[in-house]
Chains A and B, each alone.
Chain A
């Protein structure tokens, strides 16, 4: 590991109550992810990829053990502090894009900047830069319903990267896309990773996606079974 630690988990355990028993989603997960990595959490459905991504993204808290993201102890953060961490430093890309349907492309990408309290002119410049970077300038005034799947995911990437976060978490970002669009999206992310040194952490079970990963962390039944860097 050459890069500085961005994410550190130590004996991370996450359980959920299911009926009258506890379901163990993550078992003693110990991983370190450095700045600028392009890594993937891979494994079959139910292996704990999304749960791990949610805990790292401060959307959930560990049951035991610890998770540190950008030197923030996720388990100790209040809801407000967790929201602030996500707002400033983490971008999310979802399998179903999760664009805000009543907003235009411009407004969707602008949203994180509004929460950050950026000024009008600065917001406009940052949004247009992001849209330009992803080739979406002409779609700025369109609404999500008017976009194709590939375009929607590119808008989601623009929204995730517009604030230039340290970390982008992508949960099955290409699951709803065809091969051509998947390739295009992944190439875009690679470029982003290379040019802005943004750390990417994917959750996927798609073999094609794994080819792009520089590091693959395999999970099975909530445990890390393999961690290999290409």
Chain B
């Protein structure tokens, strides 16, 4: 308690030097928490959006389907095993067919992925019911807003859709855009054309076939064994986590540099402090302070920079981070296709673990940094210190 009081007095007495160090350290604190919170928020939201609009709580893939092998796509469909019928009929599972095709908006060729979905499904949060409309003999299709913008079409526009059916015969039909949906998930928007699954099965001569089955995110019952491969949500979101981790590692360089600068300031202050206060140390020892207490005192003084920085960061950074977590950060449209699913407004996730963990890491680092220059006091002779010498 005594050295705590003495350390506080010494820091208070050092005036502006103390507060400059504290301010720089508090910036490091906030930067780490802000960046980590951003990446955590990005990961949480990306996974949540993917789960909501695309992945469900998991997927069954037909034997051939491999999303990382484009050459497998033409054959990535097969008859839906009967074992899944009860779950499909109960509405906790929905089939999706992915099929290659091409469209000709404004007479320009664009390769697309036809996504056959059941209009009555409720597993994926997509407005698939919009596909059930009279379309004057045209094939009703739905696009995402990014896709619609990229090919410059809107609701009511008609263009040619071409595909190769299950027998290998090329076929084509005029398709009409009946709905443009707004989605935060760019991966199911760009390059995708949504078609009624029954119609897609019909025009491709692939009756009762699908590429995958999406399981409802709220379904927690047993899943049947099948020749189709089950992919859990964790496995399906692996790429999201890896991407966020990669970006987080890149971001950590920035706060690493900031942290290093702050620690350098603390280290410098400690070295300078020991050099300037040699005679004071001698006096403290003459007054009865042991060398161990002296080391503790100087280390504690350094460590208290970390403590004050945490308090200061809470005072001015707390409201800022809170506001940031409420308002979020609007992502520019240019970053929409960032490589991962990104929401239009990114809400950082500042967990208690993140904040406490950051505080603990910074406090430990500052304490070690403070201790390093103080170690030499273990050999300090009081008589040398009183003469202003270091032993």
Which A residues are within 8 Å of any B CB, using their own CB?
54, 57, 59-60, 79-80, 83-84, 86-88, 92, 94, 96, 98, 100-103, 107, 111-112, 114-117, 159
A79 with B290, Cβ < 8 A, contacts A94-B386, A100-B283 known? yes
Of the candidate stretches B4-12, B35-43, B234-242, the one touching chain A is B4-12
Q: Is the interface of A mostly helix, strand, loop or mixed?
A: helix
Task: Decide if B9 touches A103 in the complex (CB within 8 Å).
Answer: yes
> In chain B, residues 271-302, which have Cβ atoms closer than 8 Å to a Cβ of chain A?
279-280, 282-292
**9 other A-B residue contacts (CB within 8 Å) besides A84-B288, A86-B286, A112-B288:** A59-B382, A80-B290, A88-B288, A98-B280, A98-B286, A101-B13, A101-B280, A107-B9, A115-B2
Which residues 234-288 of B sit at the A interface, judged by CB distance below 8 A? 279-280, 282-288
Query: Which chain B residues in 346-390 approach chain A with CB under 8 Å?
Result: 381-383, 386
B interface, CB within 8 angstroms of A: 2, 5-6, 9-10, 12-14, 279-280, 282-292, 381-383, 386
Closest to B388 in A: A96
Q: In the complex, what residues of B have CB within 8 A of residue A59's CB? A: 285-286, 382-383, 386
Q: Is the pair B9, A87 in contact by a Cβ cutoff of 8 Å?
A: no
B290 engages A112 (CB within 8 Å): no
Please tell me if the beta carbons of B14 and A102 are within 8 angstroms of each other in the complex: yes
- Chain A residues with CB below 8 A from B13, complex form: 101-103
- 4 A-B pairs with least C-beta separation: A102-B13, A87-B288, A98-B283, A59-B382
Asked if residues A98 and B288 are in contact (CB atoms below 8 Å), the reply is: no
Residues of A within 8 A of B381 (CB): 60
Question: Complex Cα distance A195/B349, Å?
Answer: 70
Q: In whole angstroms, how far apart are the Cα atoms of A84 and B285 in the complex? A: 10
Q: Kindly list chain B residues whose C-beta atoms are within 8 Å of the C-beta of A102.
A: 9-10, 12-14
The chain B residue with its CB closest to the CB of A97 is B283
Closest Cβ of chain A to B354, distance in Å, is: 36
Residues of chain B within 8 A (CB-CB) of A159 are 287
Cβ of A79: which chain B residues have Cβ within 8 Å of it?
290-291
**Beta-carbon nearest neighbor of B294 in chain A:** A83
Distance in angstroms from A112 CB to nearest chain B CB is 5
